[in-house]
Amino acid sequence: MTIGWHFDNSYYKLPKSFREEIDPVPVKKPELIVLNENLAKNLGLDFSNLNKDEISHILSGNDLPKGSNSIAQAYAGHQFGHFTMLGDGRAVLIGEHISKSNERFDIQFKGSGKTSFSRSGDGRAALGPMLREYVISEALHFLDIPTTRSLAVVKTGEEVFREEVLIGAILTRIASSHIRVGTFQYIAARQKKDELEILVNYVIDRHYPNIKNEKNKALELLKVLMEKQISLVINWMRVGFIHGVMNTDNMSVSGESIDFGPCAFMDTYNSNTVFSSIDQFGRYSFSNQPKITKWNITRFAECLLPLIDENENKAIELATEVIEEFENRYQRKWLNMMRDKLGMFGEESSDIDLINELYKIMETQKLDFTNTFCHLMKIKIDENESYMQDEFTKWKNKWLQRLKANESPNNNQLELMRKNNPIFIPRNYHVEKALEEANKGKLELLKKLLNVIERPYDTNDQSLEFINPGPENRNYKTFCGT
């Protein structure tokens, strides 16, 4: 098979406590549903000489590529605040592929069968959730948000039993790595300082070589991860994305969005929006995402204490100094992001009040999050009468006054807004409709949706039907798919 695989499996070479050697469990009748040809090309992979059947056997794990070393990674996690020892219970990392541009990518099969970490699970995945991850992860990528990506979804020809009988499937996930905050928690829980040091050095070598020569590498790693996660979550907030399950095992140390279970994009703006069927108390609501990010970073800091300083009290003091900067750093970056969304150059002391007033109006009048900014950019949408009411009109006049401070030949406010405000997001109604059709074997709508998400900042005839949210569903819920 001259596909172009080039494996160099560095994680496999770490101590055995970091992983379990295990192959994907073969499936009965693999069938390719979708292949991301653009991503394959970027990875330097060429499937053009293979037929669909051959591709299906490779991307289901039935035929493993030469040079792969299949493992399930060990990790732990605080799931809704409760610590649990976990690991890849339904995923197998087949290896690290080196692209022609010398970039390293994990190749993982999700839904590939039982491992020693499966607990009572069957290790399998259903078609709907795997296609959802494909759609959402690709949407985030084209929205210019760091994320894992999806190379393919393959049906297994087997049934998966959940609340109902579902079609089995395997997703091929591509990541700069699958190392999580939970990976550090797993190693720290073993209380073996040498293993923790190995992991810190490995992550720095792989992701942050610029801090390799710092005197206190563990402390610098804490700083850089905090900055990465602040930037990531601000990007989520920019587009109205709700991850839905921000457990520590779902926070990647590379700064990528990872693990798309009960995730969705917000339609009507409500700061307390939760879509996840299992988040009964709103722990991972839209407005709580920054707070949970800080909470997760604090758990990461706890793992690093033995390496930050031999004196525990001193280590806690140093780590606390870093974490106490979270709010200021987040607020500053968030405010600048919002200025970009509203086309405001420079800084005015009244900006924060202007932004908060807009969000208050959006929430009170139940305005659509994405379309409100489209309205301000004069994008043609179905106009909401609330945009014509006094409260919004008064706010808009204040905003237009603020924009006068931008007057400069180099300050194009509309261009700035269009770079930061998507016209199209994968709306819940359209995603669900596409997945429903795909479960029936009809892929036309899914393919159309995937084509549209590649240009979220542009209007075109293809995307017009996807701009508006569709019929309102206040009880809309998403599920983990496990």
Q: What three-state secondary structure class fits 400?
A: helix
Burial (CB count <10 Å: 0-12, 13-18, 19+), residue 107? buried
Closest alpha carbon to 454 in 430, 426, 477, 431:
426
> Maximum Cα–Cα distance for the chain, whole Å?
66
The predicted structure's pLDDT at residue 482: 55
User: Does residue 171 sit within a domain?
Assistant: yes
Q: CA-based angle 378:383:387, to the nearest 5?
A: 80
Q: Indicate if the pLDDT at residue 477 is higher than 90.
A: no
More confident residue, 462 or 31: 31
Q: Which residue has the tokens 């969000």?
A: 359
- Per DSSP, 78 falls in state E
Count the alpha carbons within 13 Å of 296 in the hemisphere toward its beta carbon: 35
Phi-psi region of 240 (alpha: psi -120 to 50; beta: other; left: phi over 0): left
The predicted structure's pLDDT at residue 386: 82
The predicted structure's pLDDT at residue 356: 98
Q: Which domain holds residue 74?
A: 11-179
- pTM value is 0.95
Q: What is the CA radius of gyration of the chain?
A: 23
User: Does residue 408 sit within a domain?
Assistant: yes
Q: pLDDT tens digit string along 401-439?
A: 999 988 776 669 999 999 999 999 999 999 999 999 999
- Sorting pLDDT into bands at 50, 70 and 90, what band is 207? very high
The predicted structure's pLDDT at residue 466: 87
Domain finish residue from 137, 163, 179: 179
Q: Indicate if the pLDDT at residue 304 is higher than 60.
A: yes
Neighbours of 259 (CB within 10 A): 23
Q: pLDDT tens digit string along 90-129?
A: 999 999 999 999 999 999 999 999 999 988 889 999 999 9
Residues annotated as catalytic are 249
Q: pLDDT tens digit string along 74-87?
A: 999 998 989 998 99
Q: Indicate if the pLDDT at residue 1 is higher than 60.
A: no
Q: Are 433 and 363 in contact (CB under 8 A)?
A: no
Rounded Cα gap, residues 230 and 212, in angstroms:
22
Identity at 185, one-letter amino acid code: Q
The predicted structure's pLDDT at residue 409: 61
Averaged pLDDT score across all residues of the chain? 94
User: Does residue 215 sit within a domain?
Assistant: no
User: Does residue 349 sit within a domain?
Assistant: yes
Domain finish residue from 122, 151, 179: 179
| Least confident span in 180-184, 339-343, 351-355, 386-390 | 386-390
More confident residue, 463 or 471: 471
Domain finish residue from 390, 420, 450: 420
Give CA 24 to chain center in angstroms.
Answer: 24
First to last CA, the chain: 33
User: Does residue 164 sit within a domain?
Assistant: yes
Q: Are strands 125-126 and 19-21 parallel, antiparallel or unpaired?
A: unpaired
Give me the number of domains the chain comprises: 2
User: Does residue 255 sit within a domain?
Assistant: no
User: Does residue 329 sit within a domain?
Assistant: no
Rounded Cα gap, residues 301 and 308, in angstroms:
9
User: Does residue 398 sit within a domain?
Assistant: yes
Closest alpha carbon to 257 in 145, 132, 179, 139:
145
Express as a percent the part of the chain with pLDDT over 90.
85
